[in-house]
């Protein structure tokens, strides 16, 4: 029955012939125990993750960084409008914005720290652009 | 004068000590006696409604006479309930460590100056939603003028504010979902953004309140004053402000008008009052002016209130 007749585990996957194990050591999680097939499966998974991470980092991430920063800024401003009274800015609806507290609780402390540590807005803005 | 149309919501305002609680109580009683299921609400921190009826009134709605229910809203208790609700919700969503970290923020918000007003306003909206279910009329005995006015202008200010916040959040969510194009989990999270949802709900609530408060077929604001100089000035200012926000004025009630033949001492007082009454008629001219006589006893209890309900039937 052609190729199918060959038992599957006799066909060594192509990457097993590539000396990638040495290269990947320390770069990705290498399984220490388990049988050979499991080890190879795991190596393959990690490799996939590593490659996709690299592609994401070098192409997608750079493109979305600016948008991410913008979204981040708008959210920070929104937090300022919602919870300005925590920083001493009176807010007419501080009572009603409390309802949102459970949903932003985790962001609140770092946000407050960021707001208090702001040095210059110009430098912060300039940092967003790639002048190189 | 023709009988004015019946409006389900009536608010009684005016300077402290002019007798607005008595007027609100008598008005509610008058409505109840006509067979209209009426709820009378006190928001005054001093809570004199129980004194006017001479019946204990609690934080829960209770029947105090046939067709008449009453409630005294305690701003502090309402605010506490609200805070407690948030804290409980928070424990479900975030870890106790974070809750502990932001405890300070919760305390700040709790002691913020608008908290009690906002709590009362929330209760107002909640009660207003009970119209026709089962109450056919709701009479609000509101707190002194300045405070009340701020309360009623809240929807106007807050509506604009919320709109701005919603826009900002929408923009942030849009940008975040652009970034998260490759992250399905984040995208799903953003589709049901709780912040947008809560802000949106608030906005709808304020819009409902605003719609009711500015509808002359639904509500009317009555000012209670005495025939004296300062109350006239203050009432004039209050009416101007409410008109500016489009809140319909139902009329002016002049309380403690000294009747004729009350003795030499009071007659002299009456002379002065008549002068101010003339001024009131001129100042508030197109509005309905109701005069309530100065009685020989304090008005306490339903039997005493009955003496003036006749005057308040057609407001």
- pLDDT 10s digits, B24-65: 999 999 999 999 999 999 887 777 888 888 888 888 899 999
Q: What is the mean pLDDT of residues B215-239?
A: 90
Residue A12 above 70 pLDDT? no
Q: What is the DSSP letter of A99?
A: G
How far is A111 from B222, CA to CA, in rounded Å? 47
Q: Is residue B280 scored above 90 in pLDDT?
A: yes
User: Where is average pLDDT lowest: A20-34, B5-19, B125-139, B270-284?
Assistant: A20-34
Predicted pLDDT at A10: 47
Task: Answer whether B32 touches A (CB < 8 Å).
Answer: no
Interface contact B83-A103, CB threshold 8 A: no
Q: What's the rounded Cα separation, in Å, for the pair A89 and A80?
A: 9
Judge: A85–B112 Cβ closer than 8 Å, yes or no: yes
- The least confident of A5-19, A78-92, B109-123, B165-179 is A5-19
Instruction: Verify whether the Cβ–Cβ distance A98 to B202 is below 8 Å.
Output: no
**B225 has which bridge partners?**
B254
Matching residue, tokens 């209130």: B305
Question: What's the gap in Å between the CA of B304 and the closest CA on chain A?
Answer: 41
Mean of all residue pLDDT scores within chain B = 84
CA quadruple B161, B163, B167, B172: dihedral, nearest 10: 60
The answer, for A81 touching chain B at a CB cutoff of 8 Å, is yes
Three-state DSSP class for residue B25: helix
For A106, name the nearest residue in chain B, comparing CA atoms only: B98
Cis-peptide, bond into residue B131, ω within 30° of zero: no
The reply to whether residue A85 touches residue B79, judged by beta carbons under 8 angstroms, is: no
**Residue B199 neighbours by CB under 8 Å, 6+ apart:** A100, B162, B165, B166, B169
What average pLDDT score do residues A70-83 get? 83
Per the CB < 8 A criterion, the answer to whether B110 and B10 are in contact is: no
Note whether A77 contacts B: Cβ–Cβ < 8 A. Answer: yes
Predicted local distance difference test score (pLDDT) of residue A5: 46
What is the band of A74 on the pLDDT scale with cuts at 50, 70, 90? confident
The span from the CA of B115 to the CA of B121, in Å, is 10
Q: What is the phi-psi region of residue B19: left when phi exceeds 0, alpha when psi lies from -120 to 50, beta otherwise?
A: left
């Amino acid at each position: 029955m052609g190729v199918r007749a060959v038992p599957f585990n006799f066909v060594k996957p192509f990457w097993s012939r590539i000396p990638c194990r040495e290269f990947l050591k320390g770069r990705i999680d290498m399984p220490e125990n388990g049988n050979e097939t499991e080890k190879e499966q795991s190596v393959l998974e990690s490799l996939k993750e590593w490659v996709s991470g690299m592609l994401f980092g070098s192409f997608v991430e750079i493109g979305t960084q600016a948008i991410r920063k913008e979204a981040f800024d708008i959210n920070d401003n929104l937090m300022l409008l919602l919870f300005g009274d925590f920083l001493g800015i009176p807010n007419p609806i501080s009572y009603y914005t409390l309802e949102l507290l459970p949903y932003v609780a985790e962001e609140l402390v770092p946000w407050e720290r960021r707001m208090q540590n702001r040095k210059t807005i110009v430098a912060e803005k300039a940092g967003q652009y790639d002048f190189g | 004068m023709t009988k004015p149309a019946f409006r389900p919501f009536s608010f009684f305002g005016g300077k402290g000590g002019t007798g607005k609680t008595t007027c609100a109580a008598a008005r509610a009683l008058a409505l109840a006696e006509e067979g209209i299921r009426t709820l009378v609400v006190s928001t005054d921190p001093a809570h004199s409604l129980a004194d006017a009826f001479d019946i204990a009134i609690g934080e829960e709605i209770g029947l105090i006479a046939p067709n008449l229910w009453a409630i005294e809203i305690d701003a502090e208790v309402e605010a506490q309930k609200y805070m407690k609700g948030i804290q409980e919700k928070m424990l479900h969503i975030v870890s106790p460590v974070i809750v502990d970290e932001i405890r300070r923020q919760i305390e700040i918000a709790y002691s913020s100056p608008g908290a009690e007003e906002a709590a009362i306003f929330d209760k107002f909206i909640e009660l207003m939603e009970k119209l026709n279910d089962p109450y056919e009329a709701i009479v609000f005995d509101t707190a002194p003028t300045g405070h009340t006015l701020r309360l009623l202008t809240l929807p106007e200010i807050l509506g604009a504010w919320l709109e701005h916040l919603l826009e900002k959040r929408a923009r942030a969510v849009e940008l975040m979902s652009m970034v998260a194009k490759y992250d399905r989990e984040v995208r799903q999270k953003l589709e049901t953004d709780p912040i947008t949802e809560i802000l949106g709900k608030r906005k709808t609530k304020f819009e409902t309140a605003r719609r009711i408060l500015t509808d002359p077929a639904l509500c009317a604001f009555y000012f209670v004053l005495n025939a004296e100089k300062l109350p006239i000035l203050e009432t004039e200012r209050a009416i101007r402000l409410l008109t500016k926000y489009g809140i319909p004025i139902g009329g002016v009630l002049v309380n403690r008008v000294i009747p004729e033949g009350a003795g030499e001492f009071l007659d002299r007082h009456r002379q002065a009052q008549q002068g101010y009454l003339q001024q009131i008629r001129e100042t508030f001219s197109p509005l309905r002016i109701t005069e309530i006589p100065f009685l020989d006893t304090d008005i306490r209890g339903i039997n005493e209130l009955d003496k003036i309900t006749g005057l308040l039937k057609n407001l």
